[in-house]
Structure 1
Amino acid sequence: MTKKLRLLVVGAGGREHAIAKSLAQSSLVEKVFCAPGNVGMASDKIEVVNIGELEFDALKGLVAEEQIDWTFVGPENALVAGIVDSFEADGLKIFGPNKEAAQLEGSKDYAMRFMDQYQIPTAKFATYQSSEAAIAGLKDFSEPIVIKADGLAAGKGVVIAPSKDEAEAEIRLMFKKGQKQIVLEEFLAGDEYSLFLLIGKSGYRILPMAQDHKRAFDQDKGPNTGGMGAYSPVPQLAKVDYQRMLTEVVEPTIAGLKQANLNYQGVLYIGMILTAQGPKVIEYNVRLGDPETQVVLPRLATDFAELINAFVTEANLPEVKVKPNACLGVVLAAAGYPQAPLKGQAISLQLADESLDIDYANVTGSLDDLKGAGGRILTVLASAPSLAEAQLKVYECLNSQVQAETFYRKDIGFRATKASF
């Protein structure tokens, strides 16, 4: 009898809850640990271990102590800090890109230069190391202007300035806050789509498409957030446009990784915008997205643990098979998010049936006495034969159980269903 796998997921949020839960559901898996995890994960029998994402030596100690077969890295901060290099130096199996490859997310300038070099369609851009140079460079861009902090910003380092005066004020503020480098980009108009690749030495696989909702409030108003909800599939995306994404973006990206000798192993998220000229890349991330992961993984008919295990062991890759159902998730966030989220609110949600689920993120206390811990607290999910049914189920759940000092968008999925609640 083949020994069952013991696995570690690094991270603490809703994305990591979804990853750990998906791995734990596999018949190949004996146990899943998550470090540092969160108390809500106990609802899916995931063992939470209080070790931080950047405590590499302690994490490696846990791997040795618990005889963990391989580790899946959730968050970008650990990847950019070199967790993969650290694990591999000790001969430990881990799924994620190394420190150099993680610069595709760790530095906006690095990513834009990569796209430029390998002819991957993206926005016109320029990089600046001082506010004076950046302000002088505004003349080369038309309004509105996209301003990006060069380093990691948890999905919130992008400002779209409607006018050059506002862009100038934002540029000054970024450098005043200690930013060493910023990138100016032309604004790309169109719908955004999330495409996830799993990449390894033996090839790559594409996960189901999803669409995220970044703005805090309905009708895409308010500040940018880490994501307020997502859904999969995206029926409004025409097959011809999807094929263009594969031909014009995915294929040259894979070729570019090889030519750059990045030896990429892990997840590559491609954030795309479908413009009038065709698909263009707005950013790369070197990990699964949050909250897209929560709606993509439940749609896999292929065993997720078997798939990742094939990448880690360099075995033959199984094909990615997708269930015909739809999945939609709505984030419940703390009042005041993203600027000044409140903490400590009581959280109590009852699920009406098995088609509903919860992925926990920022929670403390215990399963019987959950409290919000700021930011995005949890994601309520529904799987159903259609997006409209999944959307209705999630909103019936949220609308019927008021959670004090929280808020959520009432229109997640509106581009596909035209409905809001």
Structure 2
Amino acid sequence: MTLQNVLVIGNGGREFAIAKKLKQSPKVDHVYCAPGNVGMPTVGVEPVAIEELDFAGLIKFAQEHQVAWTFVGPEDALVAGIVDEFQTAGLKIFGPNARAAQLEGSKEYALSFMNKYGVPTAKHLAFENEAEALTHVADFGFPVVLKLDGLAGGKGVVIASDQADAEATIKEMFADHTGRLVIEECLVGPEYSMFVLIENGDYQILPMAQDHKRAYDGDKGPNTGGMGAYSPLPQLSEFDRQRMVEEVVEPSVKGLVDGEYDYHGILYIGLMLTEDGPKVIEYNVRLGDPETQVILPRLATDLFDLVDACVNDQPLPEVVEKEDAVLGVVVASKGYPQKPVKNQALGKFPVAGNITVDYANVAGSLADLHGAGGRLLMVIATASDLKQAQQDVYAYLDQLEEPECFWRQDIGEKAFK
């Protein structure tokens, strides 16, 4: 058997986890990651100094290094059309094309898709000017959800508690950004992340996770890109999971087929389990960060086999999940997400026993590691149950001295209520 070379696009914790998982496949030789980060050599992955939006440079690299296929991590590259460019060059690539990537690139586009194909979601309207938005915001009741229409790195969503809060937020959003604003009713219920690997009409569901978006304990503070995650979800019944598949996943996949999207990649469905059943909060067209770091260690099926089948239009292997529980906590720069400290010395993060470290926004070298702002890395424990995984992560974090960093102390608590 000839071992394959693969390329991962991106530089964060998600791409670290994807590249690490691919490197573990017995069918893979080299895993390259462009641009990658300084932590990736700890798991045998080679960073490549090409930016994720330098499509010509990435195509040239893939051709010169006999890359079997490329796995796209971040949404920016997908929305900008990296898949179309690679396919035009005759290269295989895992991810949706630019048209399909609008499901993440535009909240309004995604909501229109859901309405068209009968996917349950919140009541909503989109506005292109401040005056209209201010006139109609009270129609949705309070609290109310305000979303920038375009890509915002997981931070373009505000839940306004009352009229004054909503008005101030709307004015700020229109002052800082061009484009439209989506106003939605505020759904109530637990949130879950579902990741569907789609090959046109064929699909497999990866392990599910729960993300923690707010910056501080008890879901307080501003929205972030995610402060921690865990998998599996003991509080989610098989009945409710099946409802999610039948009422959300199946009409979403059917819509992609009926709309001729030729979808080959991940559809990440952010769900809320309301009193009226599951409803979609958002679509993303790639794996989530930080959920990827906890779901991929639970995947018993070879990730290489899944992606290889998808890009080659072969039948998808069945997804098999490990019994293990995995919980991860993000170490973030002090001040994140508004004004994160940068360039703080981080010291070393030894990997021991069931603890692993997925590096993200770090700089320098492993011998002299510094923060590069935002979410720096994730400490992850794999154990026989979630409680043990949680205890092991926090025991590790308690030994660290990181005065210019912070992390939440309650990741996973919702699993035990």
**TM-score, with normalisation over the residues of structure 1?**
0.98
1:16-415 correspondence to structure 2 within 5 Å = 16-201=15-200, 203-351=202-350, 353-415=352-414
Paired letter, 2:324 = N
Contact 2:348 2:367 in 1 (8 A): no
What is the Cα deviation at residue 56 of structure 1? 0.2
Contact 1:109 1:150 in 2 (8 A): yes
For 1:168-208, what per-residue CA distance to the aligned partner results, in whole angstroms no more than 9, with x for missing partners?
A: 12111111113220100000011000000001147111001
Which sits farther off after the overlay, 310-319 or 369-378?
Answer: 310-319
Paired letter, 1:89 = T
What is the Cα deviation at residue 351 of structure 1? 3.8
Q: Identify if the C-alpha distance between structure 1 residues 134 and 366 changes in structure 2 by more than 3 Å, giving closer, same or farther.
A: same
What is the Cα deviation at residue 315 of structure 1? 1.8
Taking the aligned partners of 1:354 and 1:78, their CA distance within structure 2 comes to 36
Q: Identify if the C-alpha distance between structure 1 residues 352 and 25 changes in structure 2 by more than 3 Å, giving closer, same or farther.
A: closer
Taking the aligned partners of 1:151 and 1:79, their CA distance within structure 2 comes to 13
Displacement over 2 Å in runs of 4+ = 348-354
Taking the aligned partners of 2:8 and 2:293, their CA distance within structure 1 comes to 15
What is the Cα deviation at residue 353 of structure 1? 2.7
Taking the aligned partners of 1:35 and 1:410, their CA distance within structure 2 comes to 33
Taking the aligned partners of 1:3 and 1:350, their CA distance within structure 2 comes to 35
Contact 2:143 2:186 in 1 (8 A): yes
Taking the aligned partners of 1:176 and 1:50, their CA distance within structure 2 comes to 35
What is the Cα deviation at residue 352 of structure 1? 6.1
For 1:26-66, what per-residue CA distance to the aligned partner results, in whole angstroms no more than 9, with x for missing partners?
A: 00000100000000111011000111110000000110111
Paired letter, 1:23 = L
Paired letter, 2:48 = V
Taking the aligned partners of 1:101 and 1:250, their CA distance within structure 2 comes to 16
For 1:237-261, what per-residue CA distance to the aligned partner results, in whole angstroms no more than 9, with x for missing partners?
A: 1111111101110111011111111
Taking the aligned partners of 1:63 and 1:129, their CA distance within structure 2 comes to 41
For 1:121-169, what per-residue CA distance to the aligned partner results, in whole angstroms no more than 9, with x for missing partners?
A: 1000001110011111123211111000000000000011111222112
For 1:51-108, what per-residue CA distance to the aligned partner results, in whole angstroms no more than 9, with x for missing partners?
A: 1110000000110111111000000000000000010011100000000000000000
Q: Identify if the C-alpha distance between structure 1 residues 116 and 351 changes in structure 2 by more than 3 Å, giving closer, same or farther.
A: same
Paired letter, 1:110 = Y
Contact 1:346 1:404 in 2 (8 A): no
Paired letter, 1:333 = A
Q: Matched residue pairs, number?
A: 417
Contact 1:270 1:283 in 2 (8 A): yes
Contact 2:8 2:32 in 1 (8 A): yes
- For residue 347 of structure 1, give the secondary structure of its aligned residue in structure 2: coil
For 1:324-361, what per-residue CA distance to the aligned partner results, in whole angstroms no more than 9, with x for missing partners?
A: 01000000000000000001112234446331101000
Which sits farther off after the overlay, 316-325 or 210-219?
Answer: 316-325
Gaps of 5+ in 2: none
Paired letter, 1:165 = A
- For residue 127 of structure 1, give the secondary structure of its aligned residue in structure 2: strand
Paired letter, 1:83 = I
**TM-score, with normalisation over the residues of structure 2?**
0.98
Taking the aligned partners of 2:180 and 2:289, their CA distance within structure 1 comes to 26
- For residue 100 of structure 1, give the secondary structure of its aligned residue in structure 2: helix
Contact 1:365 1:371 in 2 (8 A): yes
For 1:385-419, what per-residue CA distance to the aligned partner results, in whole angstroms no more than 9, with x for missing partners?
A: 0000000110000011122300000000000135x
- Pairwise CA RMSD of aligned residues? 1.0
Paired letter, 1:387 = L
What is the Cα deviation at residue 233 of structure 1? 0.2
Taking the aligned partners of 1:166 and 1:110, their CA distance within structure 2 comes to 26
Taking the aligned partners of 1:171 and 1:392, their CA distance within structure 2 comes to 41
Taking the aligned partners of 2:258 and 2:317, their CA distance within structure 1 comes to 25
Gaps of 5+ in 1: none
